[in-house]
Chain A
Amino acid sequence: MLLGIETAAGLVGVALADADGPLAGVWLRGDRRHAETLGPAVEHVLTQAGASLADVDAVAVDVGPGLFTGLRVGVATAQGLAAGLGLGVVEVTSVDVLAQEVYDGGWEGPVAAVVDARRAEVFVASYEEPGVQTEAPSRQSPETLAGRLAGAPGTLLVGTGAHRYAALFAGAGLRVAAIREPSPRVLVSIAAGRLAAGAAPVPAAAVRPVYLREADARINWVQR
């Protein structure tokens, strides 16, 4: 059984998957108290599924890009669970989860997963088809992204960044999917698929959030 943890955006989510696919899940949006809600959510999902942590074979976690505070709550919790259980961790990026949900919904064209990075920037990754990332996650201004994608109007945008700058993207003739936050159900499905395909989980100590932005002080130092 696989336990998935999702805290990269404004959503706290937990899901379980077994060999037949996603089994149980819970998510809470809008209250950003990740540190308070994640532990109880893990216990709740396990209880409702009639499972225990002894049944879990690996822990999956969204490593971002996303909001740093939320990311660290999810990553540190996954690290604690995996280290204590002696299990590995499957790292899944937020952009992979977002794009996959669009493809799960039947979309067949290119996708840009766009995560709000605050400070008038977004994190973005591009996909040609399910599971095929054509551009690794990077940070840029929404205007730059809109300008680039205007030349490829068939691209569907998804994620918190796509929604925050929806008017800008609409003005560039781009469509925005309804999905905002990465889903724990999709996260755990991706991780289960990778494990089934033979991917090796990483040790708990090696899990790293994908920040895509220098820590604040370092930026100030460079600019000084």
Chain B
Amino acid sequence: MNVLGIETSCDETAAAVVSEGRVVESSVVSSQIDLHARYGGVVPEIAGRAHVELLVPAVEEAMARAGIERPDAVAATYGPGLVGSLLVGLSAAKGLAMSWGVPFVGVNHLEGHLFAPVIEEPSLRWPLVVLLVSGGHTLLVHAAAPGRYRLLGQTLDDAAGEAFDKVARFLGLGYPGGPAIDRVAKEGDPAAFTFPRAMLGDGYDFSFSGLKTAVVRAVERRPEAATPDVAAAFQDAVVDVLVTKAARAVRATGARGLCLGGGVAANSLLRRRALEAVDVPTYLPSMAMCTDNAAMVAAAGSFRLLRDGPSPLSLAPDPGLFLEFER
């Protein structure tokens, strides 16, 4: 079964074909980073307009690379995300499914991220603890099996990636902030500052807004401080909290593996520390699978289609869609 996946929840316009629920036949991502860079963040109206221009070429490219004329189903992200972006991919997916006479299935973007290891690391044994960290989300999830999730914790304010973007902007390092800070921090001394680790010993929830404020105050106090030192100390604080809580979750739940996902999972310090922190197998997604892509949407869509059947054509975008709890 070939499933065409479509992903337009934020600033990536993506299409992919996945067969047998996990074999990537093609995966195309048209990034809009250049369109948003001058604003220092994703501008919703610009993203919505760009999706309209980029989506059909991405779909045609994905179909051509997979060498198929018609998939067996079309899957598209219907939330969470920017509503003006979601509805472009969702509407086009419905039109495509109708035109081919194949089922349409809506996919929860967060569940899509949880299917990255299904694609890249099929040897991984469930249950898993998944740390999902990006510009839009920061979640710690216990996944007993595909479709059976329990939320352990989440951010109470800024997402981890948002903290990277805001601190990078403050330090004049540009957008997106994650890769910029990762690069600069390599030349810095993380011990030059000691930034707060919010709620470190306390449950599985996260808070990053205070950290950003602490960075601003520290630089105001020591304006002569080297930017690489500030970046390294900031990154150290974020990674410390993420890894400490993820490792504790693995131990507490008896999970057989730890997975990273989302754009922040591309951070080199986070990847290194995650490997060292647990003695169960750790899945570190490839760069292409960290960031938003449609292969993960097609894989999750394949699973949902087999388990729950197709979605109705009346499915609406749901910007605040949450990951379903274990039933």
Using a CB–CB distance below 8 Å, which chain A residues touch chain B?
33-40, 42-43, 53, 68-69, 72-85, 204-205, 207-209, 211, 215-218, 221
Residue of B nearest to A38 (CB): B91
B316, A211: Cβ atoms closer than 8 Å: no
A80, B57: Cβ atoms closer than 8 Å: no
A72, B88: Cβ atoms closer than 8 Å: yes
B95, A81: Cβ atoms closer than 8 Å: yes
B46, A215: Cβ atoms closer than 8 Å: yes
B316, A35: Cβ atoms closer than 8 Å: yes
User: For the complex, what is the distance from the CA of A40 to the CA of B313, rounded to whole Å?
Assistant: 6
Contacts of B90 in A (CB 8 A): 35, 76
Residue of A nearest to B99 (CB): A84
Contacts of A36 in B (CB 8 A): 314-316
Contacts of A84 in B (CB 8 A): 70, 95-100
B43, A43: Cβ atoms closer than 8 Å: no
A-B contact pairs, 29 of them (CB 8 A): A34-B87, A35-B87, A35-B91, A36-B316, A40-B312, A42-B98, A43-B98, A43-B313, A53-B99, A53-B101, A68-B84, A73-B91, A74-B91, A76-B91, A79-B52, A79-B56, A80-B91, A83-B56, A84-B70, A84-B98, A84-B99, A205-B56, A205-B57, A208-B52, A209-B49, A211-B49, A217-B39, A221-B38, A221-B39
User: For the complex, what is the distance from the CA of A36 to the CA of B94, rounded to whole Å?
Assistant: 10
Contacts of B202 in A (CB 8 A): none
B224 interface contact, C-beta 8 A: no
A164 CB → nearest B CB, Å:
22
A80, B94: Cβ atoms closer than 8 Å: yes
A26 CB → nearest B CB, Å:
14
A76, B43: Cβ atoms closer than 8 Å: no
B141 interface contact, C-beta 8 A: no
A79, B43: Cβ atoms closer than 8 Å: no
B21 interface contact, C-beta 8 A: no
B92 interface contact, C-beta 8 A: yes
B48 interface contact, C-beta 8 A: yes
Contacts of B93 in A (CB 8 A): 80
User: For the complex, what is the distance from the CA of A15 to the CA of B89, rounded to whole Å?
Assistant: 23
A2 CB → nearest B CB, Å:
15
User: For the complex, what is the distance from the CA of A38 to the CA of B70, rounded to whole Å?
Assistant: 23
A217, B98: Cβ atoms closer than 8 Å: no
Residue of B nearest to A74 (CB): B91
> 3 smallest A-B Cβ distances: which pairs?
A80-B95, A84-B99, A39-B313
B215 interface contact, C-beta 8 A: no
A81, B99: Cβ atoms closer than 8 Å: yes
User: For the complex, what is the distance from the CA of A144 to the CA of B20, rounded to whole Å?
Assistant: 61
User: For the complex, what is the distance from the CA of A34 to the CA of B315, rounded to whole Å?
Assistant: 11
Q: A35-B316, A81-B95 are in contact. List 9 more A-B contacts (CB 8 A).
A: A42-B98, A43-B313, A77-B95, A81-B96, A82-B99, A84-B96, A215-B46, A216-B43, A221-B39
A80, B96: Cβ atoms closer than 8 Å: yes
A79, B53: Cβ atoms closer than 8 Å: no
A39, B38: Cβ atoms closer than 8 Å: no
User: For residues 307 through 327 of chain B, which have their beta carbon under 8 Å from a beta carbon of chain A?
Assistant: 312-317
Contacts of A69 in B (CB 8 A): 83-84, 87
Residue of A nearest to B102 (CB): A84
Cβ contact of A83, chosen from B48, B59, B317, cutoff 8 A: B59
B91, A217: Cβ atoms closer than 8 Å: no
Contacts of B46 in A (CB 8 A): 215, 217-218
B95, A78: Cβ atoms closer than 8 Å: yes
A35 CB → nearest B CB, Å:
5
B168 interface contact, C-beta 8 A: no
Contacts of A205 in B (CB 8 A): 53, 56-57, 60
B10 interface contact, C-beta 8 A: no
A72, B95: Cβ atoms closer than 8 Å: no
